[in-house]
């Protein structure tokens, strides 16, 4: 491998630098012919000493095009030679260092208008972007310049036209400074909600659900907003739109019909052909969404999706000591594209009996719109027909149909398990695990499944034992029992949100108390002078400060997942409801006004802020189920299965610091007669003894009952 001439004979090679990395993405790069450095001050000091630009590659183990670039561009001998001769090369795992990824995505986006992974950026030794892009093939092709030519031109520019380098870097700085002052007049909450509502309606796909055209990403927080907004505004059309999106995603190939869990996104508008990576962050958010949808619509199909996500996350990402890994790769080998997840007719016929094959071929649209573009013989399974529709003409009674369908899926799962499985990144991150804790807690509650709630508890207990410090909050990464990566806002917000949902699911005060502590720490350590929350706390951050390390503007838009600023508002609203601390709501209203001023024109990508603006004015619902015996258990299950946008259900009076309205506390007499006590804000209903009356009362927010 080529060495930097001034680096010295004893400087370690990339293999020695990367092979012991916590990141599987960096470890996989250790044997590439590129003299990679991990993120840190060392490569930038080398760049200054040798007057070379820095090549920054940001990717992840789940990223298909990152693999394509690694296996093609970064395996190219000429690319390796040019990099060794003219550049200092730095490789970053965006999951391990989201703050680094966010910083340079902003800079490249300000310069080129594009971003994504792999992120390819050229930096000055001071850490400022002057050129960038995403994927580059080794030679010209695919409508993109070859990386050999790019490296030669960047090297020439660096040496011969330094004024252009400076001008580009200054242009990026200027664009970021302008973005930091984007707040306009503060719209009233009603007009802001109306603007988001209209944008969602304008983007909505009336045929396939979702928002926009291909490629189509799930937007979990936007659908959650539509559920709440549809009820608050009394709009059946909005609720129908939300349900269409939920159904179409669940029926599509973007949902793994055999193994459960959602792929990253669909390359078509009908959700049929996915990009095959499965992300923990996506599935955690979708698990929370479908738990809410299962309660809202009381739909068995959504229960099945919940069990599918829980099954996939638990089996594939689950850590035996507690917690969940971060992702599953799209590919199982170089050059692969979905081979683990797709099926040909001969493969199906080899696994299934004749009747089972006919059911699967019809029901999952074999040979229709699920064919892979690069190999039409391979099919993504998507729900073209229901099992009943697929069985027409086959002479099957209901029991035989059900058993044949279940048998076929079991056989497909077993056959797929014998294939080489795409790699799993088992890195344990607080933000992803916080999302899973929230999702598992809510799913277990809706499904009355204690084992699902238990998985959430194991994850929470492990992270609280090893990745939590009362003075620093949550570390980003848990490696064995060692924690690293302090000072990131998203870890605090997502983990606190997870703890709050777990507190509701279990009734245990320890999770509520820890969430309250973490949210208080956020207020002290992440609050900016303008009242918004910074993505990074300089006082708590333990990462290397490289170059222009001043934190950029806070992330305020959903991307498409919930922004940390909006997530903090939602967590505070939840905390206020559970503790009775109404002063929190006034602080939330103040911060939401600031958020509205900054995301007033963001539409779809302001759905998290819109949801918080709706919920902060919605009286929370509290249910206490008293008594013993079968009826009390039925009341308890019915209440947990019911929907309200801010609901907590307790089996008996919960302990401090949970708080109940005075009227409810006075009414909770400890009687042995089974009954459910319902309150909305400070107003309580007469006791309910009929389980079927609970859901309508909660849905109607207590009015007219």
Give the right CATH number for 428-615 from 2.60.120.560, 1.20.1260.10, 1.10.3720.10, 1.50.10.20.
1.50.10.20
With beta carbons less than 8 A apart as the criterion, state whether 250 and 386 touch. no
Residue 166 in tokens: 């400076």
Residue 370 in tokens: 């699920």
Q: How does DSSP classify residue 94? A: T
pLDDT computed for residue 547 by the predictor: 67
With beta carbons less than 8 A apart as the criterion, state whether 287 and 439 touch. yes
Strand runs labelled E in 94-239: 119-123, 129-133
What's the CA gap between 672 and 670, in Å, rounded?
Answer: 6
**Cα dihedral sign, 614-615-617-618:** positive
With beta carbons less than 8 A apart as the criterion, state whether 458 and 323 touch. yes
Q: How far is CA 488 from CA 98, 100, 545, 599, 692, in A?
A: 9, 11, 14, 22, 45
Q: Is 510 helix (H, G, I), strand (E, B) or coil?
A: helix
Looking up tokens 């700085």 gives 173
pLDDT computed for residue 9 by the predictor: 39
User: Which residue from 512, 552, 561 is spatially nearest to 532, judged by alpha carbons?
Assistant: 552
With beta carbons less than 8 A apart as the criterion, state whether 695 and 643 touch. yes
pLDDT computed for residue 705 by the predictor: 38
What's the CA gap between 535 and 518, in Å, rounded?
Answer: 15
pLDDT computed for residue 8 by the predictor: 40
Q: How far is CA 700 from CA 407, 416, 576, 704, in A?
A: 41, 46, 22, 8
Q: Which fold has domain 14-179?
A: Glutaredoxin (3.40.30)
With beta carbons less than 8 A apart as the criterion, state whether 172 and 107 touch. yes
10-residue mean pLDDT profile of the chain (705 residues): values are 39 77 94 94 96 98 94 96 98 96 94 93 95 94 88 97 94 81 86 98 98 97 98 96 98 98 97 97 98 96 98 98 97 86 98 97 97 95 97 95 97 97 97 98 98 98 98 97 96 98 98 98 96 95 74 88 97 97 95 97 98 97 96 98 97 94 63 90 94 95 49
Give the predicted TM-score (pTM) of the model.
0.95
With beta carbons less than 8 A apart as the criterion, state whether 535 and 99 touch. yes
User: Which residue from 63, 45, 174 is spatially nearest to 118, judged by alpha carbons?
Assistant: 63
With beta carbons less than 8 A apart as the criterion, state whether 272 and 263 touch. no
Give the number of residues written for the chain: 705
The residue ranges of every structural domain in the chain are 14-179, 189-305+326-423, 428-615, 621-699
Residue 47 in tokens: 């760049």
User: Which residue from 597, 595, 488 is spatially nearest to 534, judged by alpha carbons?
Assistant: 488
């Amino acid at each position: 491998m080529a060495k930097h001439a001034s680096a010295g004979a004893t400087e370690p090679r990339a293999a020695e630098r990367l092979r012991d990395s916590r990141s599987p993405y960096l470890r996989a790069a250790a044997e590439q012919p590129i003299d990679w450095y991990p993120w840190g001050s060392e490569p930038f000091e080398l760049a200054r000493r040798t007057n070379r630009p820095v090549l920054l590659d940001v990717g992840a183990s789940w990223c298909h095009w990152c693999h394509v670039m690694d296996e093609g561009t970064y395996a190219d001998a000429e690319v390796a030679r040019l990099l060794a001769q003219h550049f200092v090369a730095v490789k970053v795992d965006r999951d391990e260092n989201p703050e680094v990824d966010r910083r340079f995505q902003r800079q490249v986006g300000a310069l080129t208008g594009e971003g994504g992974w792999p992120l390819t950026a050229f930096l000055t030794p001071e850490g400022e972007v002057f050129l960038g892009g995403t994927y580059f093939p080794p030679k010209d092709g695919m409508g993109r310049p070859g990386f050999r030519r790019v490296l030669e031109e960047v090297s020439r520019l660096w040496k011969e036209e330094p004024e252009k380098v400076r001008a580009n870097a200054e242009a990026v700085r200027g664009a970021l400074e302008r973005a930091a002052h984007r707040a306009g007049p503060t719209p009233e909450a009603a007009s802001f909600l109306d603007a988001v509502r209209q944008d969602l309606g304008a983007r909505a796909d009336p045929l396939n659900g979702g928002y926009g055209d291909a490629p189509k990403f799930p937007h979990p927080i936007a659908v959650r907003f539509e559920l709440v907004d549809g009820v608050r505004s009394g709009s059946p059309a909005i609720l129908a739109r939300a349900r269409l999106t939920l159904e179409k995603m669940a029926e599509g190939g973007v949902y793994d019909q055999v193994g459960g869990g959602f792929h990253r996104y669909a390359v078509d508008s009908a959700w049929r052909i996915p990009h095959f990576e499965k992300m923990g962050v996506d599935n955690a958010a979708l698990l929370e969404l479908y738990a809410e949808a299962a309660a809202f619509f009381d739909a068995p199909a959504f229960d099945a999706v919940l069990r599918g996500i829980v099954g996939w996350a638990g089996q594939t990402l689950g850590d035996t000591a507690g917690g969940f890994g971060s992702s599953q790769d799209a590919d199982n080998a170089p050059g692969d594209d979905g081979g683990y997840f797709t099926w040909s007719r001969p493969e199906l016929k080899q696994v299934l009996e004749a009747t089972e094959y006919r059911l699967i071929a019809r029901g999952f649209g074999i040979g229709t719109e699920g064919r892979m573009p690069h190999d039409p013989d391979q099919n993504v399974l998507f729900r073209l027909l229901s099992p009943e529709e697929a069985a027409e003409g086959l002479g099957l009674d209901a029991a035989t149909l059900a058993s044949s369908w279940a048998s076929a899926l079991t056989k497909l799962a077993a056959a797929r398990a014998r294939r080489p499985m795409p790699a799993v990144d088992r890195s344990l991150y607080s933000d992803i695990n916080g999302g899973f804790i929230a999702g598992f807690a809510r799913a277990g509650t809706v499904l009355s499944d204690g084992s699902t709630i238990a998985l959430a508890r194991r994850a929470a207990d492990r992270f609280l034992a090893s990745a939590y410090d009362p003075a620093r909050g949550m570390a980003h990464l848990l490696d064995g029992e060692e924690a690293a990566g302090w000072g990131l806002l998203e870890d605090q917000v997502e983990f606190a949100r997870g703890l709050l949902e777990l507190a509701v699911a279990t009734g245990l005060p320890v999770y509520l108390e820890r969430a309250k502590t973490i949210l208080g720490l956020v207020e002290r350590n992440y609050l900016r002078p303008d009242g918004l929350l910074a993505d990074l706390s300089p006082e708590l951050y333990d990462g290397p400060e490289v170059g222009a390390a001043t934190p950029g503007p806070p992330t305020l838009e959903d991307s498409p997942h919930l922004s940390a600023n909006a997530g903090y508002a939602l967590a505070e609203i939840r905390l206020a409801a559970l503790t009775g601390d109404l002063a929190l709501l006034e602080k939330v209203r103040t911060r939401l006004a600031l958020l509205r001023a900054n995301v007033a024109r963001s539409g779809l990508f302001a759905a998290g802020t819109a949801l918080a603006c709706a919920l902060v004015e919605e009286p929370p619902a509290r249910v206490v189920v008293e008594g013993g015996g079968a009826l009390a258990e039925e009341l308890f299950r019915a209440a947990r299965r019911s929907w309200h946008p801010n609901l907590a259900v307790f089996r008996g009076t919960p302990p401090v610091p949970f708080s109940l309205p005075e009227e409810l506390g006075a009414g909770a007499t400890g009687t042995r007669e089974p009954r459910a006590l319902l309150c909305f804000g400070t107003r309580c209903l007469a006791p309910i003894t009929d389980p079927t009356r609970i859901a309508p009362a909660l849905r109607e927010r207590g009015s007219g009952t």
